[in-house]
Structures are given as structure tokens and as C-alpha cells.
Amino acid sequence: MNNIKTKKLLKENNKFEKNLSKESTKVLTDIVVYLRGSAISEYHQEEVRRDISQMIFDGEKRNESVRDIIGEDYKSFCDEIVKSFPPRSKKERILELLSMFFQMLTTLSLLWLFSSLIVVFTGNENIYKLPLTLGQIINGIFISIGSIAIVTFVSKTSFNKPIEVRKDKKLKSFFIYLIVFLLFWGYFQLLRYFSKTVLLYLPLYIGVIVAIVTYVLAKILANLE
């Protein structure tokens, strides 16, 4: 969340939400999470959040529940809201994607800095000649895609009821956990193998420069409108 306007509105919304009942706050959280994965900008999401909080607040004063105010189907309510916004222009989409891209680069360069510093402190490498390995690149891509996938999944399933594991499904879920564990184990073996391939040697300060530059770029792009 790099946009200044959005941050300000977010703060105001957080403050106002304290006036709502616990039950309403739960529903509002589900709504906000769902909207985070939708096609509208973060600023519009916060605007909608402000409006809905206001509606719920007034409704509570009239002793109405969230169901009375919003209706039964929270998901369609959100879908209707998203539909009512004009689609974002190509320029807006590109700016947003670029900002996100640079944000990720900042994180990844900090990761590289961190692991390189560890290597330096174990006394093994020259700080002007730190390796950037294929394994690190692959891991960086995997982390980036994975984090986007997780956030998207969490927001799309925001209104789903929590999954109950029935007794007879316990064996099936055990196998799922086993497979996931094996996949991760396999992935880490792969990474170890590719970590032997060094693509470049870089001085430590390059990591710092890249982190700073990408951070600034992400901030600038997020505040261009």
C-alpha cells in the first residue's frame, strides 16, 4: 500500500471501525478481504469500506443487524459493488502492476542482501564478490508467484465457511499433507542443486542500491494518477 491518499483513508477507516460491534467487524473484515482480490483499486476499496462501515454504524443505532442492512448474500453484494465501478484504464493497470513488480524486487533484493550477509559473516566470501545463483532466481520467482496466489486464494474464499474435517476424511487429508510435504521437499532439493550455478558475482552494495531504487520507484508509481 504505497499510495499516500489510500494510506490516509485506511487509517481513518481503521479508527472508525472501532465503533462497530464485534459481529459487524467480522463481516466487514470478510468483505474487505474479498474486495482486496477484486478488480477495483485499493483507494476505491477503502472508499467502499468507509461507506459500508457508515451504513452498518447507522444500522446498529437502529438495532439492525448486518444481514438487515446488506442482505443475505455478502458475495453478490460485493460483486455488484465491483461491477458498478468503471473498468480501470490500461494506464492505471500498467502503473499498478509496475509498482507491484518493483515492490517485489525490493523484497527479493533485501532477501539476497540478507543471505549474502550471512555468507559474509561466516567468513567465506569477499563482500565485493557475492554470488547470485540460479537457485536464488528460481526461488525469487517462486516466492513472488506463490505470494500472489495465496493472497488471491484467501480473498476469493473470504466468504467460504471454514472446512470441517470429517472423521472419514482424515486419511485423505493425511495423504494431501504428505504430498504437499513431498512437493516442498522436492522443491528444496531442486533449489540446492540450482544453487550451485552462479550466474553473477556482485558486490554487496549493489543489493542495497537495487533495494533503494526499486523501493523509490514503487512509491513513485503508486502515487502517480
Chain-centre distance for alpha carbon 169: 31
Question: Of the ranges 54-62, 107-115, 118-126, 175-183, which one interacts with other proteins (CB under 8 A)?
Answer: 54-62
**Of 23 and 151, CB closest to other proteins:** 23
Least spacing, CB of residue 157 vs other proteins, in Å: 21
Q: How far is the CB of 57 from other proteins (least distance, A)?
A: 6
Contacts of 25 (CB under 8 A, 6+ apart): 17
Options 51-59, 98-106, 135-143, 195-203: segment touching other proteins (CB under 8 A) = 51-59
Q: Find out whether 69 and 59 touch, Cβ atoms under 8 Å.
A: yes
d(CA 222, CA 109): 20
Residue 70 as a binder of other proteins (CB under 8 A): the answer is yes
Give the binding range for other proteins (CB under 8 A) out of 75-83, 94-102, 149-157, 195-203.
75-83
- Name the burial class of residue 196, with classes exposed (0-12), middle (13-18) and buried (19+) by CB atoms within 10 angstroms of its CB: exposed
What is the C-alpha separation between 203 and 130, in angstroms, rounded?
Answer: 6
Name residues contacting other proteins, limited to 11-40 (CB under 8 A): 16, 19
* Maximum separation of any 2 CA atoms in the chain, in Å: 69
- 217: its cell numbers: 520507484
Q: Which three cell numbers stand for residue 180?
A: 504437499
Tell whether residue 59 is a contact of other proteins (CB under 8 A): yes
Smallest distance from other proteins to CB 29, Å: 17
Q: Per rule CB under 8 A, is residue 84 in the interface with other proteins?
A: yes
Q: Name the burial class of residue 139, with classes exposed (0-12), middle (13-18) and buried (19+) by CB atoms within 10 angstroms of its CB.
A: buried
Interaction between residue 123 and other proteins (CB under 8 A): no
DSSP β-ladder status, 130-133 and 198-202: antiparallel
Task: Please identify, using beta-carbon distances, which residue of 73 and 172 lies nearer to other proteins.
Answer: 73
Per CB under 8 A, the list member of 71, 178, 180, 208 interacting with other proteins is: 71
70-78, 115-123, 150-158, 201-209 -> range binding other proteins (CB under 8 A): 70-78
- Interface residue with other proteins, options 2, 25, 33, 85 (CB under 8 A): 85
Q: How many CB atoms lie within 10 A of CB 3?
A: 21
The yes or no reply on residue 54 touching other proteins (CB under 8 A) is yes
Residue ranges that bind other proteins, judged by CB under 8 A: 16, 19, 48, 51-52, 54-55, 57-59, 61, 68-71, 77, 80-81, 83-86
